[in-house]
Structure 1
Amino acid sequence: MVESNPSPLDVVLRASDISKSFGRTQALKQARLELASGEIHGLLGANGAGKSTLSRVLAGYIQPDKGEIVYRGQQLRLRSTRAALDAGIALVSQETSLAPDLSVLENVFLPELGRRGRLSFPKLRQRAMDLLDRLGQKEILSLDKTVRQLSAAQRQLVEIMKALALNALLIVFDEPTTSLSPKEVERLFDIMAKLRESGAALVFVSHRLEEVFTITDRVTVMREGQSVATSLDTASLTQGELIRLMVGQELSTIYSTPRDPKTAAAARIVLDVEKISSAPAVRDVSFSVREGEILGIGGLVGAGRSETLEAIFGLRKRQGGIIRLDGKALTIREPRDAIAAGIGFVAEDRRIQSIVPDMTVKENLLLAHLGAHRGFGLGYRQREAKVKELLASLDLPPNRLIDSSLLNFSGGMQQKIIIARWLLLEPKVLILDEPTKGVDIRTRSSIYSILRSITAKGISVVVVSSDFDELLGIAERIVVISDGLSIADVPAKSLTEEKLTLLAAPRTSTAQNTEILRGLTRDHGGASFWALLGENDLICLSSVVQNNSVAPGFAAGEAVGISDTQIPKALRDRATSFVCEEDGSRATILVPVTSRRGHDFGWIGLSMPGGRDLPSVEQIRSRISSQIAFHNE
């Protein structure tokens, strides 16, 4: 184990040899964590590493089987979340536990509403206002709004206030940025920094490395339930070193090698989804999948990704749109229609949506076959050869087929059997929603291998994943969904995690920058855009064109090569003044957009006819910079 210890005087909590099992699954194996006051401590690991389980042990949600927790010099035995809160330990998770029909004020002081005696709401309101002032968020949140009316970022703010109202001195943030836009993440980090300055100890659970390097002081890394590195200074690490600690190998070695782009582009379209809608989550989604392709569906939690897959498979009623398979329009009213057409679906929650506990492993494996089978009997015999072939690929002994319950297997083996269930039917398209959720790195590697082998046979695959690194590693293309709309279709090789996060931001978040573009074109004419620039290509996040003769040659959601645009010289030079193209048709100025922490948020550009008087460079740059700063407040 890699270890680095703080001064004993700084230690506020020390968790040692924490072990926890759920049935046959060993979630934690002698895990360790040490926290100091006035620090933000990153708790990292791949999916299923044990991060969330350890977080819930610290917050009293889960009682460990073994181990010791020493908090502020005293041994701590937490029997409930109330005991943790009384000790000053709180958990802020990505899925908040607020009462949706109560006001912000009532939620902040919810634990006190059940106490004996009378409460003074004017005093509670003043305390809440003091908390908002302490966090620097006085103008962001109305205390009288119901929680149901709040955004994800505002709900998290209420959770933080709730913890502070109970005088929490140790706060665990469990994947808090999953459903936040980049600007909302910036605001959350401002709050966390203020809490650190006040002397609180914060745990930040995340798998987004750029966030870890931005906000944490030290990190502990978990792998398969164990702490493999503890209390390392974040500043001393590189991204490559951190990835190796998290997964035990170079992450790139478990991903697939993409097909040659020309080969991929020449493949026929198998599944074509055009403008489907399924209120309220899916408003207008379109994409296509080619033969033997892995298409990634990216977006934030709540964007409508899972609902889109369910609408395609017949689990949700569609109000509009067309689904074509091999060029033929399908009528899918229920899952049996999708199965009959050749579409398989692996749902996100395997225990609730995919496993029948009272059936044997064999019966669970053949469940999709039963749905597709017509005629007398079970028809198992016709699948025997295929079952043997799949069992060999899964490393599952044939005698385990008679096991009384699939729940006796690890989560990873359960998932592989569920995937095999659909492969038995030899589908044309396999749709997977969060296929590696809650499984270890070896199982992830095995699942990726299965996907590579089936695409090599011509099966088309659609994958939804909240792990952007995973999407970038396995998909050839990524369709981004935001607020129920498909807003981009981009080759995976053109993206990074940061670019994908910006693309996936809610439309309400990107609307602010689009309004800046509208102002520029309204006052100066021409065409304006907001884009992420690479060395040889770009991704357009938004554009406003008033004069088509100077359109830049790309539109919102498109990824194009710089040489294929109408303004290649300006995009390559990235000068501090207007740049005229070689043919003199256009002059373009580019202004970089950065966050307060120096993150690259792309470039805003204004293109105008080359033969006319151009506005002041300083005026344009100052206007963009001041408006960006205003919106970042």
Structure 2
Amino acid sequence: MKDAQTQPDPAVRADALLVARGVSKNFGKTQALTDAALTLRPGEVVGLLGANGAGKSTLSRIVSGHIQPSGGEIAFDGRPLALSSTRDALRQGIALVAQETSLAPDLSVLENIFLPDLATPGRLSFRAMRRRANELLSGLGHEHVLPLDAEVRTLSAAQRQLVEIAKALALDARLVIFDEPTASLSATEVDRLFDIMARLRDGGHALGFVSHRLEEVFAITDRVTILREGQVVAEDVATGTLSQGDIIQHMVGRDIGAIYAARRAPPEAAADTVFEVRNLRAAPWVQDMSFSVRRGEILGLGGLVGAGRSEAMEAIWGLRPRQGGEILVRGEPARLRKPADAVRAGLGFVAEDRRAQNIVPDLSVRENLMIAQMGQHRGFGRGYGKRADKVASLIADLGLPPDRLDQSLLNYSGGMQQKIIIARWLLTEPDILILDEPTKGVDIGTRSSIYRLLQDAADRGLAVIVISSDFEELLGISERVVVVSDGVTIADLPVARLTEEKLTLLAAPRTSTARNQALLRALVEVHGGDAFWALLDGEETICLAQAGDRLAGMVPGEAALAEETAIPEAIRARGPDFTADGDRRTLLTQMTDKRGHDLGWIGVTLPAASDPPDPDAIRRRIATLTDPAEEVST
């Protein structure tokens, strides 16, 4: 039933570009949509929300011509809309930008932007196409980001998304639906995508936005429509009138409480280190990674996409060759040359790609659930009976009807598939469980249940390592976070010392911070002493980079209170001039981006006996970091 208070005013639809009402869709005996609705207007971003299996992607694909509805009415620009293909939708000016892009990897960026034109008769002018591509990218504010002659296979996930958007605009799309576009993007890349979406909205485009991340919904949408079990339960509601709790209740039909349940980390003295990695190297992605996890602890492994975290876990698991490093399990060196060695050593591993790396599509739910423990079974048969009680308990925790265990796992939503995969490894009763992006592409209700599952397991003594690009998730579920950038361990810090902003700066690729580090070296060459780049939060500091004599007492990757450094007075004052601390003095200059986000402080610490340089001259030197692409200011 649709909630009465969440029905849109009919008068509000007068300026709508697209109106879908009563849309239904059957896939054989499966009813994906029964009574779905969506309204999109020029100059607005509308969030399309719902739990896994609610029908969001199905409705998006119907509107964009990928599939045909079983019933309902859809009007576009005031006229009935009947699409037989995606080409029909593109001709009408409707495009879908999906999480998995539909680009041709062996073609260039330019060819992909104009891919639909390549199939039309007549000669194409590549000079005109290049001029048009530059105009499109300039309009998006990214004309210098995409090399038009590069093959798409060489691009990052964020760059591929940008090509997909440019392709839609090349067809003069007036309506663009973004279906989970941020799932593979870092926080910085998401911010840039939202800049593009804001430009499109301000340019009069109608935008739909499908996402499981509620913080993104509040950041970019003007209105939301929420589906539950194929029906609309909140249609065209102003985002500002809803709280996160309101949206969750609409999505799952109940209050699931706090997403991240508070738990106490095991005391240092009471918990043994059960797993340790020292100086791991697995070229080209993993250069020098070290971390450890204790019994009963949830350790977060944070970093951006491409930082080398997943590759490090594959190397540990025996799926990728290692060129160096040491792995210790329960304090003893472990020779993990193949996955079977890791399983016997007490490790479990939930890989990132659910369909390609975790699911055996021809097997049932029961068989997928039991496949890992069969590797531990010795003797005749399958050994199912030995774990019958454990299976029954896990099935109850998952909320899975026991009479559906013999159905195909592919019949279930992505969220339920993920919970079954995690349960598969819990059945083996490992000492260490590694999970790579465990909540990628799952709804808020499923995320909450997965977190509780992991926290309960950790409370029973399991050591858990969670790899995630979602920094809110890392801070919510972990007790400690190890930050990785460009295959190197950058920092190992308790979550109490971290925020999402701090994690973002710590995780920045070393290539993107090269100019900052070059500036530090240049400042030391000119003035001597010490130069550093640090995050300052009250009296807490985290050093990002440093050059010179370490007069300030800052060590890259380490956190310290002001009193634990050599410049406590300067950290407290942060004044426009040099501040004295005993036999040294320090000038601190803050950097912020165009949104006012803190990008850290550049510090110069010199011996008190030296002649102080002009603070304004140093600030001007720091201002040279300003770059149009980064839009940094001091």
TM-score scaled by structure 1? Answer: 0.87
Task: Report whether the alignment pairs 1:281 with 2:278.
Answer: no
Please say if 1:118 is aligned against 2:118: no
Letter in 2 for 1:586: R
- For residues 395 and 240 of structure 1, what CA distance do their matches in structure 2 show? 22
Counterparts in 2 of 1:36 and 1:209: CA distance versus 1, 3 Å:
same
Question: 1:435-450, aligned counterparts within 5 Å?
Answer: 435-450=438-453
C-alpha distance after superposition, 1:159-213 (max 9, x if no partner): 2222221111122334445555666555544444443343222334455666555
Q: Is the 8 A contact 2:415 2:446 kept in 1?
A: yes
Aligned to 1:599: 597
Q: Aligned in 2, Cα 1:177/1:376: closer, same or farther, shift over 3 Å?
A: closer
- CA offset digits 1:563-608 (Å, max 9, x no partner): 3333232223332332222xx1332222222211222323222222
- In the other structure, the counterpart of 2:206 is 201
State how 1:455-474 maps to structure 2 within 5 Å: 455-474=458-477
The change in CA–CA distance for 1:119 and 1:415 in structure 2 (over 3 A counts) is closer
Distance in 2 between residues matched to 1:136 and 1:153, nearest whole Å: 14
Relative to structure 1, is the Cα distance of residues 111 and 609 closer, same or farther in structure 2, using a 3 angstrom cutoff? same
Contact kept in structure 2, 1:131 and 1:161, CA below 8 Å: yes
2:424 partner letter = R
Equivalent of 1:88 in 83, 88, 93 = 93
SS in structure 2 of the partner of residue 580 of structure 1: strand
- The CA deviation at 1:107 is 1.7
Q: Which residue of 1 aligns with 2:563?
A: 563
Match status 1:334 vs 2:334? no
Distance 1:586 1:96, change over 3 A: farther
Q: SS state of the match for residue 372, structure 1? A: coil
Q: What is the rounded CA distance, in whole Å, between the counterparts of 1:445 and 1:60 in structure 2?
A: 34
Q: Which residue of 1 aligns with 2:73?
A: 68
**1-structure distance, mates of 2:528, 2:274:** 43
> Which deviates further from its counterpart, 473-482 or 506-515?
506-515
- C-alpha displacement of 1:15: 2.8
Shift of 1:286: 1.9
Matched, 1:325 2:326: no
User: Residue 376 and residue 69 in structure 1: after superposition, are their counterparts in 2 closer, same or farther (change >3 A)?
Assistant: same
What is the identity, as a one-letter code, of the residue corresponding to 1:607?
T
The reply on whether 1:574 has 2:578 as its aligned counterpart is no
1:495 aligns with one of 498, 510, 515: 498
Instruction: Name the CA distance, whole Å, in 2 between partners of 1:249 and 1:361.
Output: 27
Query: Where do 5+ consecutive residues of structure 2 fail to align?
Result: none
Deviations 1:445-477 (A, max 9, x none): 332222222212211011223433222211111
Work out whether residues 546 and 554 of structure 2, in 8 Å CA contact, stay in contact via their aligned partners in 1: no
User: Is the CA contact (8 Å cut-off) linking 1:252 and 1:473 kept in structure 2?
Assistant: no
CA 1:327–1:101: 2 relative to 1, 3 Å: same
Given candidates 610, 625, 628, the residue that maps to 1:627 is 625
**2:419 counterpart SS class:** helix
SS at match of 1:508: coil
Check if 1:429 corresponds to 2:469.
Answer: no
- In 2, Cα distance between the equivalents of 1:106 and 1:82? 17
> For the Cα contact (< 8 Å) 1:323–1:330, is it kept in 2?
yes
Contact 1:406 1:414 in 2 (8 A): yes
Cα deviation, 1:476-512, whole Å, max 9, x if unaligned, reads 1122233333323222233333333333333322323
Q: Tell me the SS of whatever aligns to 2:626.
A: helix
Structure 1 counterpart of 2:173: 168
| 2:106 alignment partner in structure 1 | 101
Match of residue 394, structure 2, among 387, 390, 400: 390
Pick one of 301, 309, 313 that aligns with 1:297: 301
Deviations 1:42-66 (A, max 9, x none): 4456777655444434333344444
The whole-number CA distance in structure 1 between the counterparts of 2:559 and 2:29 is 47
In structure 2, what is the Cα distance between the partners aligned to 1:243 and 1:398? 27
Which residues of 2 match residues 403-418 of structure 1 at below 5 A? 403-418=406-421
The residue number in structure 2 matching 1:545 is 547
State yes or no: 1:307 paired with 2:305. Answer: no
More displaced stretch, 162-171 vs 305-314:
305-314
Residue type of the partner of 1:579?
T
C-alpha change, 1:476 and 1:211, in structure 2 (3 Å) is: same
Q: What is the distance in 1 between the residues matched to 2:193 and 2:492?
A: 29
TM-score (norm 2): 0.87
> Quick one: which of 129, 135, 149 aligns to 1:130?
135
Number of equivalenced pairs? 626
Q: Is the 8 A contact 1:512 1:631 kept in 2?
A: no
Q: Does the CA contact (< 8 Å) of 1:179 and 1:302 recur in 2? A: no
Alignment partners' CA distance in 2, 1:465 and 1:25 = 33
Matches within 5 A, 1:368-383: 368-383=372-387
Q: 1:286-310 CA deviation, whole Å, 9 max, x = no partner?
A: 2111110111222233333333222
Task: Give the partner amino acid of 2:134.
Answer: M
- Look up the SS of the partner of 1:632 in the other structure: coil
Shifted more, 107-116 versus 431-440: the winner is 431-440
Between 35-44 and 79-88, the greater mean CA deviation after superposition:
35-44
SS in 1 for 2:375: helix
Residues of 1 paired with 2:525 and 2:50: CA distance? 48
Match of 1:533 in 2: 536
> CA RMSD, aligned part only?
3.3
Residue in structure 1 matching 2:82, options 74, 77, 88: 77
Matched-pair contact (CA < 8 Å) for 1:182–1:502? no
Between the aligned partners of 2:575 and 2:49, the Cα distance in structure 1 is: 40
The 3 A distance-change label for structure 1 pair 438 and 511 is: same
CA distance in 2, matches of 1:422, 1:203: 37
